[in-house]
Every structure is written in C-alpha cells, then in structure tokens.
Chain A
Amino acid sequence: MTERNEYKELTWQGLWKNNPGLVQLLGLCPLLAVTTTLTNAIGLGLATLLVLVCSNATVSAIRNWVPKEVRIPIFVLIIAAFVTCVQLLMNAYTFGLYQSLGIFLPLIVTNCAIIGRAEAYASKNPVKQASFDGFMMGLGFALVLILLGGIREILGQGTLFDGADLLLGDWASVLRIEIFTFDSKFLLAILPPGAFIAMGFLIAGKNAIDAYIEKKQPKVETDKTIERVRVNFEG
C-alpha cells in the first residue's frame, strides 16, 4: 500500500468504517453520560482527541524498546499520564467546563478506544501514521459525541451551544441559539435512557446508509462481508 493510500484508508476507517463510537462501540460510558449538551460533547471530544493523538504518537515512538510482555502496563501508564495532564490543563484554563465534565475527564483513561488503538495500530506502525490514526479515530469519536450532544440538547432543552462560554471564553455566549422553548424540558432526552435511544438511531442510520451504498454497487467484492467487528486488529 502506498503511503497516500494508507492515509486515505486511515481516514476512512476512523471516520466511518471502523468509527470508535458507532462501529466499535468503544468508550460508551463518556459517550452517553456527557452528551447532554453540545458544549460538553465538544469539550470531551477535544480532550479525547488530544489524548489519543499523544498516546498513539508516544506508543509508536517507543514501540521498539518496549518488551512485548510488559507493553500493556506501559500503554496504560502513558495514557494515564496524558489524561492527567489534559485534566490539569483544563482545570487551569477552562475551569467551568472542567467542572461540568466532572468525573468523565479522568475516565478517559478507561476509554477502550484509546488503548485499543495503541495496541492494534500504534504499537506496530511508524509515528507519523500512528499519530494520523489517532487523529482520525479521535475525530470520528468526537464527531459522534458532537452529533449526539447536538441532538440531545435540541430535543431536551431546545437550545444549541448552551454554556459555550465555559469552553471558549466569555465571547462565546453569543453562540447560544434558542431553537424553541418549552415550559418544562423533555427529560427523556437529557437522562441516560435518551442517550441510548439516540445512539441506537445513529447506529441504525449508519447501517442504513451502508446498506444503501452496498445495494447501489452490487457485486464489486463479495469476499469481504463481515465488517462489523468490535475491534479491528488488522493493523
């Protein structure tokens, strides 16, 4: 595979075909818990993206020095260190958002998408590709977060970008859009069951699109039918 094709493939894998949120279903805990508003979703998405790029790059850079037997604890160490750094930085510079993300920021450590990519891709590939893979996987995850956060905020509160000033500074409070107002909020969308339902619709939507595309291009290749595996170890 030429290098260019490889990047194209990584983009395709991260954003669509092997999306951590929609296909691998990794990191569901923060995905479902934090997406009550768009701002929270963007905040956690960016934090995860940053950690994923840093951890992938580091894991890839040290892949030749780490003995196979102890690689997992070392990956965990690296990921935990980066998450702690991101957490400290967010505590210092985006204090309001840090408070509204709460426990889910340190919980990035346990996001299986991160250690999954470290093990499946970064530990076997050069730094450049590994960082790119981390970026695309992180972006894929962040996009699902943002989509889910947007849907739940519109349905639940009738707003978009509520509390954006917590993330971006005071000027961002003008971003807040009031789409419609209710007397009382649509609770189902804000509470966790709403997250599961919305997530289900997103996955169904993705599968429907895949099925539609497959139907439009019949019999191009029939040997690759199983594509919905949880973690793709093709490396």
Chain B
Amino acid sequence: MKVAVQNNAKVLALFAIACTALVSLVSWFTKDTIMRQQQQQLLNTLYEVIPAMSLNNDLYHDCQIIQGNDYLGNTEQQTAYIARMDNIPVAVAITSTAPDGYNGKINLMVALNVDGSVSGVRVLKHQETPGLGDKIETRKNDWIYSFDNKTVESVNDLRWAVKKDGGMFDQFTGATITPRAVVKAVKNTALFFNENKDDILAAPTSTCGESND
C-alpha cells in the first residue's frame, strides 16, 4: 500500500516537472516575440492617435505613470506618453478607463494636443455587446473619430454629452450607455490633462515602457 502511494506520488511529481519544463521552455522561446507584439500593438495605437510625422522622439519610452484618481476611472494606474518634436511637447496620449460601460470597463487611449484639443481616441479593450456597443471600434464604425479636434471648455461643458442628453455626439441605435460612458471618460481625461498639464509635461523622461509590460 505504502509503496504504491509512494510510487504514484513519484510518477505524478515526475510528470509535473516534465510539464513545467516544457511550458517554461516554450515561454522562454516566445517571451521576446510576445513582448514585441504587445509593444507594436501599443505603438500602432499611439501613432493612430498622434500622427507620426508630428513627433520625433521615442514615444513608447517617453512616458510616465500617473494617478488619475476620479478623472481617469478610479484608482488604476494610467500611463501618459508624451510626443515631442525637437524636445518641445506637441501632444500627450493618456490611457484612461470608462468604468461605466454596458458590460464593465472600457479601456481607452486618449491623445490630447498641448492646446487641450483632442488629437484622437481609440478603444484599447472592451466587452460591449457585439453589433450594438462595439461600434466604438474603428473597424466597425467611424464614431470614435467624432472626438477629433474637439475641445473641452470647462467642467460644465454641456456639448460633451450624447445627443440624447443635449450634447454633440451621436448615440447608436439601441445603445446609449456605451457612447455615454466613452464621452464621459474622454471629457474627464481632457479635464485631467488641462488641470495637470504642467506637471505631466515637466516631469523628467522615465522609462515606464519597459517595466510596464
């Protein structure tokens, strides 16, 4: 009996070690490629919201971790990427979270020019209803482009709402909650940037890109 248990334990342990070794090996081989893919993906999004010809710094590594508090969707850490042309800041891309999507959080990348106007917005991650709320993706609908070049004047800027609520942004047929959440998040991000512009731009260049993977 005891021998049988020992034997079984040994076999199990052996297989556990072998399987772990296999997974570690594959993980080790693919680690760099996966990291490159993720960087590439982020960089593509960054260049979509900030035109590549308007900057000449290493955008991916010119970034800092910011605490947005209520503005950027509760307590999560967000990242700000600063685009510079010959060391003069031209725009900042800030990751932001809309906490009140129809199916949970919507992660956004909001780029703002230094004058406060929106340079571009993209959705990084969401779980909205296919066919209704997912029109916030660029490959489904052009809606997200409607933020381009708009400026938030103040906290009480009434134009920053969906048309149903008296604002200037379309809602989708059958889905108001999703665009409402996105509009609010972009507005808050713009307000956050207006208030903290000097801090963000003055901060020394750090390399959060590497530790942030």
0/1 per residue, A53-95, Cβ < 8 Å to B?
0000000000001110110011001101100110011011101
Instruction: Tell me, in angstroms, the Cα distance from A207 to B33 when the chains sit together.
Output: 46
Question: Which of A81, A156, A185 sits near B22, CB closer than 8 Å?
Answer: A81
Instruction: Tell me, in angstroms, the Cα distance from A80 to B12 when the chains sit together.
Output: 14
Contacts of B7 in A (CB 8 A): 67
Instruction: Tell me, in angstroms, the Cα distance from A99 to B34 when the chains sit together.
Output: 12
Instruction: Tell me, in angstroms, the Cα distance from A69 to B16 when the chains sit together.
Output: 16
Question: Which of A84, A93, A184 sits near B33, CB closer than 8 Å?
Answer: A93
B66 contacts the other chain (CB 8 A): no
A187 contacts the other chain (CB 8 A): yes
Instruction: Tell me, in angstroms, the Cα distance from A67 to B27 when the chains sit together.
Output: 30
Question: Which of A85, A93, A185 sits near B131, CB closer than 8 Å?
Answer: A185
Q: Main SS of chain B's interface residues?
A: helix
Instruction: Tell me, in angstroms, the Cα distance from A77 to B12 when the chains sit together.
Output: 9
0/1 per residue, B148-174, Cβ < 8 Å to A?
000000000000000000000000011
B146 contacts the other chain (CB 8 A): no
Q: Is the pair A80, B41 in contact by a Cβ cutoff of 8 Å?
A: no
Q: Is the pair A78, B41 in contact by a Cβ cutoff of 8 Å?
A: no
A115 contacts the other chain (CB 8 A): no
A160 contacts the other chain (CB 8 A): no
A77 to chain B, nearest CB (A): 5
Question: Which of A67, A80, A89, A92 sits near B11, CB closer than 8 Å?
Answer: A67
A120 contacts the other chain (CB 8 A): no
B8 contacts the other chain (CB 8 A): yes
Q: Is the pair A77, B8 in contact by a Cβ cutoff of 8 Å?
A: no
A46 contacts the other chain (CB 8 A): no
Q: Is the pair A184, B34 in contact by a Cβ cutoff of 8 Å?
A: no
Instruction: Tell me, in angstroms, the Cα distance from A15 to B48 when the chains sit together.
Output: 45
Count of chain A residues near B, Cβ 8 A: 26
Question: Which residues of chain B from 36 to 62 have any CB-CB distance to chain A below 8 Å in the complex?
Answer: 37-38, 41
Question: Which residues of chain B from 1 to 33 have any CB-CB distance to chain A below 8 Å in the complex?
Answer: 4, 7-8, 11-12, 15-16, 19-20, 22-23, 26-27, 30, 33
Contacts of A88 in B (CB 8 A): 23, 26-27, 30, 34
A190 contacts the other chain (CB 8 A): yes
Q: Is the pair B16, A77 in contact by a Cβ cutoff of 8 Å?
A: yes
Instruction: Tell me, in angstroms, the Cα distance from A101 to B41 when the chains sit together.
Output: 17
B132 contacts the other chain (CB 8 A): yes
A123 contacts the other chain (CB 8 A): no
Given contacts A70-B8, A70-B12, contact A95 B37 (CB under 8 A): yes
Number of A-B contacts (CB under 8 A): 65
A191 contacts the other chain (CB 8 A): yes
Q: Is the pair A184, B37 in contact by a Cβ cutoff of 8 Å?
A: no
Contacts of B204 in A (CB 8 A): none
Q: Is the pair A85, B23 in contact by a Cβ cutoff of 8 Å?
A: yes
Contacts of B37 in A (CB 8 A): 91-92, 95
A181 to chain B, nearest CB (A): 13
Contacts of A93 in B (CB 8 A): 33
Contacts of A89 in B (CB 8 A): 26, 30
A36 contacts the other chain (CB 8 A): yes
Q: Is the pair A67, B30 in contact by a Cβ cutoff of 8 Å?
A: no
Question: Which residues of chain B from 125 to 158 have any CB-CB distance to chain A below 8 Å in the complex?
Answer: 129-132
Contacts of A36 in B (CB 8 A): 130
Given contacts A78-B19, A92-B37, contact A191 B11 (CB under 8 A): no
Q: Is the pair B11, A74 in contact by a Cβ cutoff of 8 Å?
A: yes
User: When A and B form their complex, which 5 residue pairs have the shortest distance between CB atoms, in order from nearest?
Assistant: A81-B19, A92-B33, A92-B30, A185-B131, A95-B37
Q: Can you give 13 contacting A-B residue pairs, CB < 8 Å?
A: A36-B130, A67-B8, A69-B8, A73-B12, A74-B12, A77-B16, A81-B19, A81-B22, A92-B34, A95-B38, A156-B131, A184-B173, A191-B130
